Amino acid sequence: MFELIEDTFVVTNNAGDKIFADIRYPASKNNLPLVILLHGFLAWKDWGFFPYAAGRLAAAGAVVINISNSHCGVPAGADDFLEPEKFADYTISGEITDTIAVINAFGNGEIISDIDDIWSGEIYLAGHSRGGSVALLTAAADKRISKVSSWSGIDRFVRYPRRQIEQFLQIGYFEFEYTRMGRMLRINRRYLDDYENNKEKYAPNKCVLQLDIPILFVHGKQDITVRYKESEGLYKLVINKESKLHLVENTGHTFGITHPFKQTTETFEEVLNTTISFFNL
């Protein structure tokens, strides 16, 4: 096991929003690819498996950045949605913008000054759930990205029944209970408007038809939050022949990991090992 250098940093996007992130990489290796981890809905950089996954990928041979989206609603060091107004204003466009802002900051040497001694120039994205499909959209928007790994990814970004969408449009927000903390959270109409304004561009099934890079889809076969058929359907549409679909038996949406993180699982190790192999780390 290599000694890992670990640090935290903040990137400010063009709108002035702060993106909190961690970076990890082996102290004694160079010519490493950059891997950026993207969380999904109701998650942040320190949720559950993300810090552990970042450490495993870094130890395998990568510079790994684990980010909290600027509108995730969980400030640095917190373990709850202490900024619900930010969470409510989340958009798909904002998450893509945040990811590209981090890539730019890294590439400009703002995060690691001796970047040329460490980085190979390759950029990979790995995202969970909604983050997996945001990774696809980001790769379509930024041609510097050369591989994507989607864990439990979604095939559509608007997942509400018609009745809820009508209510969403009428009152200007959608409210739901966050059961872990027993509190209500909102998603503002801004999310729907952003999606409607970019409907063609933000359709994962259309995105993969144009994305000629290797894509790995990993999904638990017992996932009841996002059915594995969603990843399976996207995989059938990919055009790059190096793309892969890996279905994990006897596991669900988070591969047996809960928050706070207690320990890894055999199925999550399968996810990580499959991703490490796909990224050639």
Q: What does the pLDDT read at residue 182?
A: 80
Q: Is the residue at 82 inside a domain? A: yes
Count structural domains, the chain: 1
Bridge pairing between strands 18-26 and 4-12: antiparallel
pLDDT digits (tens, 9 = 90+) for 96-150: 999 999 999 999 999 998 899 999 999 999 999 999 999 999 999 999 999 999 9
Q: Is residue 91 part of a domain?
A: yes
* pTM, full prediction: 0.97
| Distance from C-alpha of 152 to C-alpha of 96, rounded to nearest angstrom | 18
b/e per residue 230-251 (b: at least 16 CB within 10 A)? bbeebbeebeeeebebbebeeb
170 found inside a domain: no
CATH of the domain at 83: 3.40.50.1820
Which residue reads 């561009």 in tokens?
201
Q: Is residue 164 part of a domain?
A: no
Give residue-wise pLDDT tens across range 23-34: 999 998 899 999
Place of tokens 């102290």: 27
